[in-house]
Copies of this chain bind each other. A is one copy, B any other.
Amino acid sequence: MLMSSPHRPALFRALGDPTRLAIFELLARQEHSVSELVDKFEVTQPAISQHLGALRSVRLVSTRRSGRHAYYRARPEGLKPVIDWLRHYQNFWPEKLVNLKAVLDKSSKENPHAPRH
Protein backbone atom coordinates (compact mmCIF):
# COMPACT_ATOMS: atom_id res chain seq x y z
CA MET A 1 0.00 0.00 0.00
CA LEU A 2 1.09 3.51 -0.76
CA MET A 3 2.25 5.44 2.24
CA SER A 4 0.61 8.78 2.75
CA SER A 5 2.59 11.95 2.95
CA PRO A 6 3.15 13.14 6.51
CA HIS A 7 1.09 16.04 7.71
CA ARG A 8 2.83 19.35 7.40
CA PRO A 9 2.99 20.13 11.12
CA ALA A 10 4.70 16.78 11.67
CA LEU A 11 7.20 17.56 8.96
CA PHE A 12 7.92 20.99 10.41
CA ARG A 13 8.18 19.50 13.85
CA ALA A 14 10.74 16.99 12.62
CA LEU A 15 12.85 19.83 11.28
CA GLY A 16 12.28 21.92 14.39
CA ASP A 17 15.00 20.39 16.52
CA PRO A 18 18.50 21.82 15.95
CA THR A 19 20.33 18.52 16.22
CA ARG A 20 17.85 16.76 13.99
CA LEU A 21 17.96 19.52 11.40
CA ALA A 22 21.76 19.39 11.42
CA ILE A 23 21.64 15.63 10.90
CA PHE A 24 19.26 16.08 8.01
CA GLU A 25 21.54 18.69 6.47
CA LEU A 26 24.52 16.37 6.72
CA LEU A 27 22.53 13.58 5.13
CA ALA A 28 21.45 15.93 2.38
CA ARG A 29 25.07 16.46 1.43
CA GLN A 30 25.99 12.83 1.56
CA GLU A 31 25.13 9.46 2.93
CA HIS A 32 26.40 8.66 6.43
CA SER A 33 26.33 5.62 8.61
CA VAL A 34 24.95 5.96 12.09
CA SER A 35 28.37 5.69 13.67
CA GLU A 36 29.72 8.39 11.37
CA LEU A 37 26.92 10.65 12.57
CA VAL A 38 27.64 9.77 16.17
CA ASP A 39 31.20 10.98 15.62
CA LYS A 40 29.96 14.34 14.39
CA PHE A 41 27.64 15.20 17.25
CA GLU A 42 27.91 15.54 20.97
CA VAL A 43 25.10 13.16 21.76
CA THR A 44 25.08 9.42 22.27
CA GLN A 45 24.37 6.79 19.66
CA PRO A 46 20.82 6.11 20.90
CA ALA A 47 20.03 9.81 20.63
CA ILE A 48 21.21 9.77 17.03
CA SER A 49 19.20 6.64 16.28
CA GLN A 50 16.12 8.27 17.78
CA HIS A 51 16.55 11.37 15.67
CA LEU A 52 16.97 9.18 12.61
CA GLY A 53 13.81 7.34 13.55
CA ALA A 54 11.97 10.66 13.78
CA LEU A 55 13.26 11.73 10.37
CA ARG A 56 12.37 8.35 8.92
CA SER A 57 8.85 8.53 10.31
CA VAL A 58 8.16 11.63 8.24
CA ARG A 59 10.04 10.15 5.28
CA LEU A 60 12.78 12.77 5.27
CA VAL A 61 15.48 10.10 5.20
CA SER A 62 15.89 6.63 3.81
CA THR A 63 18.07 3.87 5.12
CA ARG A 64 20.13 1.11 3.58
CA ARG A 65 21.70 -1.73 5.48
CA SER A 66 25.07 -3.19 4.64
CA GLY A 67 26.49 -5.68 7.03
CA ARG A 68 26.24 -4.25 10.48
CA HIS A 69 26.19 -0.70 9.20
CA ALA A 70 23.08 1.33 8.51
CA TYR A 71 23.55 4.06 5.95
CA TYR A 72 21.16 7.00 5.92
CA ARG A 73 20.57 9.64 3.31
CA ALA A 74 18.11 12.48 2.92
CA ARG A 75 15.04 12.05 0.74
CA PRO A 76 14.62 15.35 -1.10
CA GLU A 77 11.09 14.31 -2.11
CA GLY A 78 10.31 14.31 1.57
CA LEU A 79 10.40 18.10 1.40
CA LYS A 80 7.74 18.21 -1.25
CA PRO A 81 4.93 18.96 1.22
CA VAL A 82 6.90 22.01 2.34
CA ILE A 83 7.40 23.15 -1.23
CA ASP A 84 3.75 22.57 -2.06
CA TRP A 85 2.75 24.49 1.02
CA LEU A 86 4.89 27.46 0.00
CA ARG A 87 3.53 27.29 -3.53
CA HIS A 88 0.08 27.31 -2.02
CA TYR A 89 0.70 30.73 -0.52
CA GLN A 90 2.24 31.87 -3.71
CA ASN A 91 -1.28 31.75 -5.13
CA PHE A 92 -2.95 34.26 -2.86
CA TRP A 93 -0.13 36.36 -1.47
CA PRO A 94 0.73 39.50 -3.36
CA GLU A 95 3.49 38.53 -5.72
CA LYS A 96 5.80 41.26 -4.53
CA LEU A 97 5.77 39.91 -1.00
CA VAL A 98 7.19 36.52 -1.73
CA ASN A 99 7.87 35.52 -5.28
CA LEU A 100 9.01 31.99 -4.77
CA LYS A 101 10.03 31.33 -8.30
CA ALA A 102 12.07 34.50 -8.41
CA VAL A 103 13.76 33.60 -5.18
CA LEU A 104 14.55 30.16 -6.43
CA ASP A 105 15.86 31.53 -9.69
CA LYS A 106 18.35 33.74 -7.95
CA SER A 107 21.92 32.69 -7.85
CA SER A 108 22.73 31.61 -4.37
CA LYS A 109 25.84 33.70 -4.15
CA GLU A 110 24.09 37.03 -4.25
CA ASN A 111 23.66 39.09 -1.11
CA PRO A 112 23.19 36.47 1.57
CA HIS A 113 22.78 39.24 4.13
CA ALA A 114 20.18 41.28 2.38
CA PRO A 115 18.27 43.61 4.70
CA ARG A 116 14.92 42.55 5.99
CA HIS A 117 12.24 44.69 7.55
A113 contact from B15, B84, B97, Cβ within 8 A: B84
Q: Does A43 contact B (CB under 8 A)?
A: no
| Interchain nearest-CB distance for A30 vs B (Å) | 9
Task: Encode A18-41 as 1/0 by CB contact (under 8 A) with B.
Answer: 100100000011000000000000
CB-defined contacts of A17 to chain B, threshold 8 Å: 9, 13
A5 touches B116 (CB 8 A): yes
B12 touches A21 (CB 8 A): yes
A113 touches B101 (CB 8 A): no
User: How far is B97's CA from A85's CA once the two chains are assembled, in angstroms?
Assistant: 18
By a beta-carbon cutoff of 8 Å, the part of chain A in contact with chain B is 2, 5, 7-10, 12-18, 21, 28-29, 76-77, 79-80, 82-93, 97-98, 100-101, 103-106, 108, 111, 113-117
